[in-house]
Amino acid sequence: MPMGGLLPMFSSPPGGGLGGGGGGGSSGLGIRKVAGPGAFRLTEKFVLLLVFSAFITLCFGAIFFLPDSSKLLSGVFFHSNSALQPASDHKQGLGLGNINAGGKGEEGSEGERAAAAAAAAAAADNLAKIREDHERALREAKETLQKLPEEIQRDILQEKEQVLQDKLLNKGNAGGLPHLDFRPSIGALGREPTDPEIRQKRAKIKEMMKHAWDNYKLYAWGLNELKPISKKGHSSSLFGNIQGATIVDALDTLFIMEMKDEFKEAKEWIEKNLDFNVNAEISVFEVNIRFVGGLLSAYYLSGEEIFRRKAVELGEKLLPAFHTPSGIPWALLNLKSGIGRNWPWASGGSSILAEFGTLHLEFVHLSHLSGNPVFAEKVFGIRNVLNTLDKPQGLYPNYLNPNSGQWGQHHVSVGGLGDSFYEYLLKAWLMSDKTDLEAKKMYFAAVQAIETHLIRKSSGGLTYIAEWKGGLLEHKMGHLTCFAGGMFALGAACASPELTQHHIELGAEIARTCYESYNRTAMKLGPEAFRFDGGVEAIATRQSEKYYILRPEVIETYMYMWRLTHDPKYRKWAWEAVEALEKHCRVDGGYSGLRDVYLKQESYDDVQQSFFLAETLKYLYLLFSDDDLLPLEHWIFNTEAHFLPVLHKNNQEVEENHK
């Protein structure tokens, strides 16, 4: 475009203003204007506008994005304006400026000077804020560019989820947790057994609890677990930097054993020291069943508000684990960053059935106690995913990919990796006061598939539950699987009439098999796993399966079988286990697991597991108590033996007091 054509755009056209040109203004009405030498064509104006826009963009880009651009703002563009200089510099230049302007610097009023100083200070604050925001934006941009695309996508999902959670929390808990009128649940405390022998045995189990607790307090107080041989603390990576696992896990055992002083000191430690604001990776499953479950149980037994507050606080910390495309939660979660991942060994980054399937009971109760539906929505979302998937032979594989929402490796087990998923289906039905029909349907369909494809009987007549790997059976049963005897018996009353007795008998057969796994060892305590092949029955054949870590599952099944049948053999078998624990696992510093139960000489693993206090000793205590202590029609036990009350249809405990 000729240079001359640019000038008329910034000057008046020939002939003057609006009335210039005499009658030429009116003569142009109703006809198309003819371009003169002082006018621009439309395309020329568009090009000129683009050039001008680019120039403005370049200027502002230089101001805000060049290195140390805040100095450009204050030192170049605004240097001549004293009002935008720092307050101290401005005050020094204020009088000089007024003198130069007319020699009246001394005559200005105090009010004017104060107003000028205030304006300068405000301008300095604005400039500092601009500089701070700009530097923060640069840092965040740099951090974002260093992330993988998957991490960026996860962050976006997390932010969206956080916004939703904040809305729900603000809606449901505008004034904190809703008011709750605590009502002591039925059977939180029971009577002394009338039988002197049973009373004496129960007192012995309470003494075992005191020995375990006192040594934990003496050598490992505030840490997660105790090393009873070394007489020092032990911390598992499962809990990250969260401390006090034994304290929280033991709360309800202390309560029902009426160890009031110990319960009080545990509560005081929790009030002062239990902290979930840690920058560490934890197992969502383990923290849920031990910490959330333990705190919920302690609240329902005692009514102490600190336990409810801590349980809900931790539940909120666990919610980011669900930030996956499918809604199936991660196994591991950093509580500070909210970033989750799965165990690297788990079938191509899959989540594990027994882990994501063992959140339901606790999360439903978190919604019940907090008034916030988000917890229950998360676990019902898991169930929705499972119901959309085809099950091979009606079985649930142990691995599910949280990104694709599809099964991983087709490995099925009622023991490790699968166990408590099935337990929680049954207990969700019972805890709902038998209104959760979907849970009931899923449970009995799963049990039917397990009976068809996994349950077998040995040549010696022992019923066992094998593992299924891609259609092939491995004739191995784990100690963890022994919980299933109690599960089958507990679910018998809910089965169709023709199957009720069958499920009781199935539970009894599993209990007998697990008893034999104990009875066939030198120490009368069961191995981690035992096999039914090569002429061997209920015996561990591999060195890596011969250890015993104070596990509770066999005792758990004895407890349920006693409560449901009152067959005295279950108390007899349980007392044999007590005698074996006292003989082989009790040491000066507490109770230790064993490396090999087939040896005559103890080889200790030097760990007193928190679940020994939470489960093993609790189930033993209940076995030698009357049925009025924690009656099964009113209480559900989570997989860590923490007590959760049945949510009866006519029992509305939560009342919002912030309307």
Question: Active-site residue numbers?
Answer: 286, 419, 528, 553
52's CB contacts (< 8 A; 6+ apart) are none
- In this structure, are residues 610 and 210 in contact, taking their beta carbons and an 8 Å threshold? no
Provide the β-strand partners of residue 340: 333
Q: Amino acid identity of 88?
A: S
**What distances in angstroms separate CA 331 from CA 238, 287, 357, 577, 657, one per listed residue?**
10, 11, 11, 33, 36
| Annotation: binding site for Ca(2+) | 639
Provide the β-strand partners of residue 478: 529
Please state, in angstroms and rounded to a whole number, the distance separating the CA atoms of residues 321 and 331.
8
Tokens of 354: 């027994």
Q: What is the DSSP string of 352-374?
A: EHHHHTS-HHHHHHHHHHHS-TH
Q: Amino acid identity of 280?
A: A
Please compute Rg for the chain using Cα positions: 36
Tokens of 506: 């199935």
Say how many C-beta atoms besides its own lie within 10 A of residue 463's C-beta. Answer: 18
Say how many C-beta atoms besides its own lie within 10 A of residue 587's C-beta. Answer: 17
| Annotation: binding site | 639
Q: What is the DSSP letter of 412?
A: E
Closest CA to 500 of 462, 450, 447: 447
Q: How many residues does the chain have?
A: 659
Closest CA to 364 of 429, 304, 421: 429
- In this structure, are residues 225 and 593 in contact, taking their beta carbons and an 8 Å threshold? no
State whether residue 274 is helix, strand or coil.
coil
- In this structure, are residues 643 and 301 in contact, taking their beta carbons and an 8 Å threshold? yes
Please state, in angstroms and rounded to a whole number, the distance separating the CA atoms of residues 592 and 549.
7
What is the CB-side half-sphere exposure of residue 276 using CA atoms within 13 A?
A: 21
192's CB contacts (< 8 A; 6+ apart) are 199
**What distances in angstroms separate CA 380 from CA 169, 356, 359, 376, 582, one per listed residue?**
19, 11, 10, 6, 43
- In this structure, are residues 538 and 548 in contact, taking their beta carbons and an 8 Å threshold? no
Tokens of 24: 């030429």
Q: What is the DSSP letter of 382?
A: H
Q: What is the DSSP string of 329-341?
A: PPSEEETTT--EE
Please state, in angstroms and rounded to a whole number, the distance separating the CA atoms of residues 372 and 366.
8
